[in-house]
Amino acid sequence: MKKRKVNLKVIFLFVFSLILSIFFMKVPVTEQAELVSVFFQISSVIFAILGIWIAILDPVSILEKVPTERESSRGKLAKALFPQLKITTAVFIVTLIINFSLPLLKYWNPISNSHILLRISFGFVLSFLFILQVWAIIGTLQPIFIIRSKERQDKTVARYRNRDDDNLS
């Protein structure tokens, strides 16, 4: 079931990126290239936020956990952020490579800048990076949602325990 869920996410990512890339058909590559630096800045900020979250949640406790020992809540929260950290790291690396390559491609361009296939292809890459960034940003909120749901669950349990105590007396 989990593998199927991952496959559906990947299919959604590619289909949505293809749909978005069509909108880049008329946008020159030079204008699209400006978005790369924006993605680079966003990914570096998200990378820092995730790094802070994971540092606060003490991932060392995950490494030092004995196999028979129960995982701590902090460890579970830290593990929940790992996929977003991987995504952001990948986007960070890709934007770094693109930023490095773009000046070189200006002088070596066998396909003209106005070629539609080039614009759509670059639009696909940008759309792909955009969706991954949004996914990672939403993922940074995950610990907050987990903490809130745990608080609600604890309040509900406490309310039921108090009700049972009142009924016993």
Interval 21-35: pLDDT, tens: 888 888 887 788 888
Asked if residues 146 and 57 have their Cβ atoms less than 8 Å apart, the reply is no
DSSP code, position 68: T
H/E stretch holding 30 reads: helix 29-57
For residues 53 and 77, what is the distance between their CA atoms, to the nearest angstrom? 9
pLDDT, tens digit, for every residue of 44-97? 888 888 778 777 776 666 667 666 677 777 777 777 778 888 888 888 888 888
Where does the pLDDT of residue 3 fall: very low under 50, low under 70, confident under 90, or very high at 90 and above?
low
For residues 131 and 42, what is the distance between their CA atoms, to the nearest angstrom? 12
For residues 68 and 146, what is the distance between their CA atoms, to the nearest angstrom? 24
From residue 37, how far is each of 52, 87, 93, 108 by CA, in Å? 23, 17, 12, 21
Asked if residues 32 and 122 have their Cβ atoms less than 8 Å apart, the reply is yes
For residues 47 and 62, what is the distance between their CA atoms, to the nearest angstrom? 20
From residue 30, how far is each of 3, 53, 103, 123, 140 by CA, in Å? 38, 36, 11, 11, 31
Residue 168 confidence (pLDDT): 61
For residues 126 and 120, what is the distance between their CA atoms, to the nearest angstrom? 10
Where does the pLDDT of residue 114 fall: very low under 50, low under 70, confident under 90, or very high at 90 and above?
low
Structure-model confidence comparison of residues 150 and 124, the more confident one? 124
Reading the block at residue 105, the tokens are 């491609």
